[in-house]
Structure 1
Amino acid sequence: MSRTPIVYMSTDPAAPQLTGQVGSLVALLDAVLVNGYGVGPAAKPGAGWTLEFTASNRRAYRIDPVIGSGIFFRVDDSASIPGANARSAHVRAFESMSDIDSGINGCPTTAQLEFGDTWSKSMTLNAVARPWLVVATAKWFYLFVDVNGSGISTAVGFYAGDMPSYVPGDRFCFLVSNGSAGVAHAGSSSTNVSKGLIADGQLNSATGVNRGAYVMRGASGLPGAVPVSLVLPRPAGTSIAISALGAVGGEYPSAINNGLFAEEPIFREGVNRTRGYLGGCYTPWHVIPFNDLELKEGLTGFLGATVLAKTYRPQNPGTVTGTGQVLFDLTTAVY
């Protein structure tokens, strides 16, 4: 069980392949969340989730209820749902489950998305392997996928898990990032595939294009998933409607401290309703300050931590949201 982030990559020895075929995403998540992969010095352990229920190309993973919420994350990678295809998998979290197909209090709810959200794997229905990267702990994971075959530096990002909350004793701050809002990938390079790392500069909405994720329950604690939106960092101002994290800001290094400024991406349930922030992840106040996958040490504000820079492209190539970058603290253990 890892409280310190582990980086998994498709280029690791014995890493699973992600393709536009059924079952490839759950095979990847089996490996990175539960079983690990590789042997000898190249071996990587699983992040510490448990596999509670399994069926053909379907899984229900769970966070440990002692160190975390105990919430279940269900992935249907069977392409058997109405309107589905093997380019995407359907995902939904549950507060409890009794079998692979039975859960209570889904996130998103069936009213929000009938069959759950959709996370894309590949734009093609074949065995062509797509580069991917995962940063994971026992409480959350971030998945980046080169869906369109344009390079890992332009991968789209997804995430799920327990996130730090400003609600005291919060047991329901489990997020499922918004992929393509329940719509399976259409096979075109212009298909919108991920809204999870798009932020709202105006801070006013948790719906429509600005919906970054769903949280298991709202701050009130009442049952029912609530949409949330990420917020751009302070230097972005309020004139920008939507943007990728790390796509707006000043130059690096800063003229103020000759170093880095960064902050944890916060998410809101609505106007002036900041709920929490993304664990282990940071938004630079600079426009893409580092190369993709660059490891940095000695950065301002990171207390000697090793930091991984990951560029990504929200939605699809060519959208107005642009290429962004987030930073991952690989040294500090999760709360």
Structure 2
Amino acid sequence: MGSAAGPSWARPGRLALVAFVSSGVAILLTATAQGRETAPALHSSKPVGKAWPGHVITYFNTVTDQRQTIARAVAAWNTSGANVRFRAVSRAQAEVTIVPIPLNYPKISGGEASLGYTSPSAETFDPFPNIKFVNGRLIPPKGPIRIYHGAHIWLRHAADRLRGKVSSYFWDAIAVHEFGHILGLGHETRACATMNPISLSADQCSWMKTFALWQHPCALLAVDDIQGAIRLYGGHVNAPSRAACDSTKTPPAPVGLRAELDTTCGSLTLRWTLPLPRKELSGVIVKGSFDTCPTDPGDTRHTLTLSQVWTESTPASGSWCFTVWATRPSGQPSKPATVHVEVP
């Protein structure tokens, strides 16, 4: 393994840099490694760098509020079947350091990974704007010179998660994508992969087209990603699930659902309290059935106006059950609220 000063395959006096920048989940390859590129397998994430020596890559995370995100990304690669592991160590021992993106730097909304093939004397790399190359070093015109050895991942703080407009899966996908770059993988544009420029894009992953808008793949890696890592490190594919998971927590059921039957006017009114603030919801769905309670909200793109009351003419005599759901703007339905009504 390489030391904390950089990978052991670094050549003194030379610098080759692989820098990968993400904007949202769209991740742009900005530079490639020097030297011969490994020929990719058909429909397999494309290696653009050398494999690390050995089969353990050490890392240290300084973005402590993204600890769980990093843990999930590491677990995805460590259980992928590729013969390589990421292992957390002290900063002094780490070959990969995870550092925060400045809050005032808007051009990288998600993450960035860089591989500096450096000598122990260390070249200098600053990923942020207005850099210039002077005497073999990258020097920012303002501010301190940042010296990096080995490899780095830049990741935004959890508190800066695009004002809460995206789910934790967004950040998990970015992190596992950046760790893929650290392994030596480039972008895959021909097959379904987390290493797609837009991670696990439905345009590439036809099986995702059946997912609802509020769902994402439960697995962070696709077979193609793992095949790319196996080309560099060996191993066998532990096929990831293609199941769908909810990107946002299912809203609670509408509160206090009750029925008011007016036999004089011939009307039935349902009343409830919305389970979340109005800004987090888009509509409601009301369904009724004789004897049994409806359990399927149906097409959640078609809802009633966001309200807390519903009135219709009295249904036929008998035992009825009504179910009410609230929906998020994505169409995700809440848990159901039910009420039974006896119509004379």
Write 1 or 2 for the structure with the bigger share of helix.
2
- If the length of structure 2 is used for normalisation, what is the TM-score? 0.21
Write 1 or 2 for the structure with the bigger share of strand.
1
| Higher RCO, 1 vs 2 (CA within 8 Å, ≥6 residues apart) | 2
